[in-house]
Structures are given as structure tokens and as C-alpha cells.
Amino acid sequence: MHSFINTSSINTRLVDAAGFVGIAEDNYSAYVEDAALLILRQSASPIVLLSGPSGSGKTTTAHRVAAELIRKGSKARVLSMDNYFLPVDEFTNETLPRDEDGNIDLESPLRLDIPLFQEHLRTLAEGAEVAMPLFDFATQSRSGTVPLKREKGEFLIVEGIHALNPLVTGDADRFSTCVYVSVRTRIKSETGAMLHPRQIRLLRRICRDKLFRDRRPAQVFDMFDSVSRGEELNILPFKSRADIDIDTFMAHEPPVYKAMMYRELMESSDELEKFPNYDELMEFLSAIEPLSPGYIPANSLIREFIGSGE
């Protein structure tokens, strides 16, 4: 069941900004610690499969869980499924996965080298070495391989949007623990309207893509329907397979996005008003007071989206 927080409650708590941030960060840390404890109890499952939709904070959560396992005396490493993307030149024009609009389907599990991935999961679980491919997104090709071997007693946290899809993972249930991460909390306005978790992740993507991917907000809004469609088809149907659920929402993140993006989004209204999510996002952002990113700890999950601030 989804929880919610009121815009008025957010603004009230901002009076003690440092305390507000600290509580939200502690709540997330508690999720991470609980996940680590459950993983440790399932020591016969050395592979941790961690999935979540775009903007859910998979990468940060995977590394935070690994750090918590290490803090508790275990060994852990993070492995990105992105390395198992197939080079585009291995597809023909007919076999390249496409969405219903005819565009290359970046969310399709068929973009992955599924047989190699399944083979490597089994081999790593057994403690033998593999030659893990390295994928270069700039050229959409493989740039080589690196040797990878799981040490005795070590957990490998494998993160990616398809990590819970049995088509991709095969028989990995025999030796894995499954984790699903996403925003689960809604924001409620004074009128009773609700901002869906997917829209909170959209705010994260707008901020991240501007900082790290050189994309304008209009481009992110334009991609949103395609990304959402991919989630509905390829990610959400498998979240029930998770042994562990982590809500990555931070109560202080909307005020940070207000400080970082609101003016630009307002000034771009002529370009953005055509997108159905724009008015809703602006309604909620206008009702929330801003918070300087300087309050956000360096290891916070939302640093994945707002940058280090250096």
C-alpha cells in the first residue's frame, strides 16, 4: 500500500531543514539495513538481483546495500546489467527491438545478451571466473572484457531494470535474493490531488538528464510515455517476485527540485505546456518551499539525480 505526505507537511518540516533531511535519510538507511540483514540470512543465495524502474535510485541503493553488507563484516560488490547489452551491429533492421511507434525499444529485455548473462550468473554463483563484457554506450558496442570471480562468501549485487524478469535471469531463483526499489510514496496537495510516484521519478529524471546527459526538460517529457510504457511491459509485472521492497522516496527531495528546476520549468512553459504531466508537476512544485541542495548529504540517494554539488 502506498503512503503519502502533504505539501503543507513538507513546508512545515522545512522550518528545521537539517532535522527534516536527517529523518528522511535515516528512514532510507533503515530500509537499506533491513535489506542487508535479510540478504545475510540467505547466505545460500550469493547473487542479489536488484531491479526498479528508471529514476528509482537502483545504482545508489545497490552500492548502499553493498556498503552495509561490508560494514556488517561480509564481502559484496555491485555488477551492472548494462554491460550485457548486445552491440547494435549484432541486430538486423528486422531483429532490432522496436516499440509501437517504430523507434528502437531501449527498454526491451531483448537488447540483452540473455544466454551469456544467464551463463555468467550460474558460473559466478558457483565461484568460477567469467570474462564480463564491457559495454560502451557512446558507440553501442562492446569495448572488451574483464575477468570477474566471486570470492568465497561474497555477495554480488546485480542491478538493472530487467533483474527480476525470469526471461532474462533464467533459473537464478535457486541462488538469488530479489530486491525491488522504487518511489512508493505519493505527495498530496491541499486540494486532495495526488502526485504519482512515477511523476516524482520524472522530476528526478529531468534533473539528472540535464546535469549528466545534456537533455533539455522537453526531451525528458517527450520520452516519458515511452519509458512508462516500457515499465508497464517489462518491469512492473515482475515486482511481486521481490523478497525485499525498498521505498526510495525522500521527503525533502521535492523542495530541492523546486530550488533547482522551478524557474527553468516556468520559463519554458510555452514549450512544455503540451505535455500532460507538466501542469501537475508545476502545481505541486508551486505549493512547496525550496530547499538548498547544500543540505543534502554527499552519500544521499538523491545525489544520483542532483549531482555532488562540487
pLDDT in tens, 211-265: 998 899 999 999 888 888 889 999 999 999 999 999 999 999 999 999 999 999 9
Report pLDDT for 108.
86
Identify the helix (H) or strand (E) that includes residue 176.
strand 176-182
Q: Could you say which DSSP state residue 257 is in?
A: H
Query: Averaged over 5-13, what is the pLDDT?
Result: 95
- Confidence band (pLDDT; 50, 70, 90) for 2? low
Residue 1 has pLDDT above 70, yes or no: no
Compare 296 and 1 and report the one with higher pLDDT. 296
Compare 239 and 95 and report the one with higher pLDDT. 239
> Do residues 153 and 72 make contact, with C-beta atoms less than 8 angstroms apart?
no
Query: Averaged over 72-98, what is the pLDDT?
Result: 85
Collect all residues with Cβ–Cβ distance below 8 Å to 120 and sequence separation of at least 6.
84, 130, 132, 148
Split into its structural domains, the chain has a count of 1
Closest CA to 48 of 119, 118, 121: 121
Q: Could you say which DSSP state residue 91 is in?
A: S
Compare 274 and 97 and report the one with higher pLDDT. 274
- Confidence band (pLDDT; 50, 70, 90) for 94? low
Residue 73 has pLDDT above 60, yes or no: yes
Whichever domain contains 227, its CATH number is: 3.40.50.300
What domain range includes position 74? 4-306
The pTM score is: 0.92
Pairwise CA distance, residues 158 & 49, whole Å: 5
Query: Averaged over 178-200, what is the pLDDT?
Result: 93
Residue 191 has pLDDT above 90, yes or no: no
Report pLDDT for 310.
58
Report pLDDT for 39.
97
Maximum CA extent, the chain: 58
> Do residues 185 and 24 make contact, with C-beta atoms less than 8 angstroms apart?
no
Query: Averaged over 95-104, what is the pLDDT?
Result: 71
Mean pLDDT lowest for which of 65-69, 108-112, 147-151, 205-209?
A: 108-112
Mean pLDDT lowest for which of 44-48, 58-62, 229-233, 279-283?
A: 229-233
Burial of 73-101, coded b for 16+ CB within 10 Å and e otherwise, reads ebebbbbebebbbbeeeeeeeeeeeebee
Pairwise CA distance, residues 198 & 195, whole Å: 8
Closest CA to 230 of 70, 94, 107, 85: 107
Query: Averaged over 168-193, what is the pLDDT?
Result: 94
Report pLDDT for 140.
80
Closest CA to 183 of 37, 302, 55, 18: 55
- Confidence band (pLDDT; 50, 70, 90) for 92? low
Q: Could you say which DSSP state residue 249 is in?
A: -
Closest CA to 65 of 237, 148, 169, 180: 180
> Do residues 40 and 74 make contact, with C-beta atoms less than 8 angstroms apart?
yes
- Confidence band (pLDDT; 50, 70, 90) for 121? very high
